[in-house]
């Protein structure tokens, strides 16, 4: 079930910015099959975080018509090195979202409020 963000009227939306920034920083066309410049739009996303980690997933539309899901996990190190990973899944034609193992995933549900993330791509 999709959910929309809850934030005070007039305040900018920041959900997913931190995680998308990390994703854009580490994308490697040779390894991942596309780079930041190949991304046309963020279609939808989910995010979750607490004191120990943050995670997010983004469905991205690429300029060549392909669609991809990027899964991001970041562990916050307290007096330790930080660690993060991304996993890439290209979506097949007609596949709206990646498959999750539980109907309760992704955590927090999908958000289609992506205008603030699109601004990051335009930079």
**Taking the alpha carbons of 60, 64, 66, 70 in that order, is the dihedral positive or negative?**
negative
CA dihedral 84, 2, 39, 11 (to 10 degrees): -80
> What is the rounded radius of gyration, in angstroms, for the C-alpha atoms of the chain?
14
Distance (Å, rounded) from C-alpha 33 to C-alpha 2?
Answer: 28
pLDDT per residue of the chain (123 residues) written in tens, 0 to 9: 344 444 556 656 788 888 999 899 989 999 999 999 999 999 999 998 877 788 899 999 999 999 999 999 887 766 566 678 899 999 998 888 887 765 556 877 889 999 999 988 887
Q: What is the pLDDT of residue 98?
A: 84
- Cβ(71)–Cβ(89) under 8 Å? yes
Q: How far is CA 104 from CA 26, 94, 95, 99, 110, in A?
A: 28, 22, 19, 12, 11
Q: What is the pLDDT of residue 3?
A: 43
* 13 CA to centre of own chain: 15
């Amino acid at each position: 079930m999709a959910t929309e963000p809850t934030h005070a009227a007039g305040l900018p939306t920041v959900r997913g910015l931190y995680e998308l920034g990390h994703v854009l920083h580490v994308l490697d066309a040779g390894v991942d099959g596309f780079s930041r410049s190949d991304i046309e739009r963020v279609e939808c996303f989910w995010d979750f975080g607490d004191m120990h980690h943050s995670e997010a997933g983004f469905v991205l539309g690429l300029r060549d018509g392909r669609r991809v899901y990027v899964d991001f996990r970041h562990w916050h190190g307290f007096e330790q090195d930080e660690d993060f990973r991304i996993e890439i899944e290209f979506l097949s034609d007609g596949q709206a979202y990646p498959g999750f193992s539980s109907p309760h995933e992704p955590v927090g549900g999908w958000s289609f409020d992506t205008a603030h993330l699109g601004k990051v791509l335009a930079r």
